[in-house]
Amino acid sequence: MTHVLVLEDDEDVRSMLLEMLGSAGFTTDQAADGTAALKIVHDRGCDVLLTDLLMPGVDGIEVIKSVRQAARPPAIIAISGGSPILPAAVGLGLSEAFGADRVLYKPFSKAELVQAITAVLAARKPKA
């Protein structure tokens, strides 16, 4: 079963994402900040990291950069709705430049999320 780590500082959004993923059959872990997410990735690992970008402390870009250095990095999907100081297009473009496999603009549907997870995992499978 695919294990997804949800990194989102907004508790309501994080709960919604966990519900969407659970109802789609994924196992999940959660983190409210970048430091906690990095600990989970390095201690337990995951198949997919779903990370918000704009968070206090260690932001999503820093998490992406750090996770890419892991021995077995997960697939990474960056999510953002943007803010006045960092529009979503800029933030998500930066996340791709630093190693995100896919980006999603908030808001997105459950179907879009599941499709993104399926696509990043399929891209990692060796070709037969």
Q: How many domains does the chain have?
A: 1
3-state secondary structure the chain: CCEEEEECCCHHHHHHHHHHHHHCCCEEEEECCHHHHHHHHHHCCCCEEEEECCCCCCCHHHHHHHHCCCCCCCEEEEEECCCCCCCHHHHHHHHHHCCCCEEEECCCCHHHHHHHHHHHHHHHCCCC
Cα–Cα distance, 36 to 103 (Å, whole number): 21
- Model confidence pLDDT, tens digit, residues 85-121: 676 777 778 888 889 999 998 999 999 999 999 999 9
CATH number for the domain that contains residue 76:
3.40.50.2300
Which pTM value belongs to this model? 0.92
Question: What range does the domain containing 94 cover?
Answer: 3-124
Phi-psi region of 79 (alpha: psi -120 to 50; beta: other; left: phi over 0): beta
- Model confidence pLDDT, tens digit, residues 11-64: 999 999 999 999 999 999 999 999 999 999 999 999 999 999 988 889 999 999
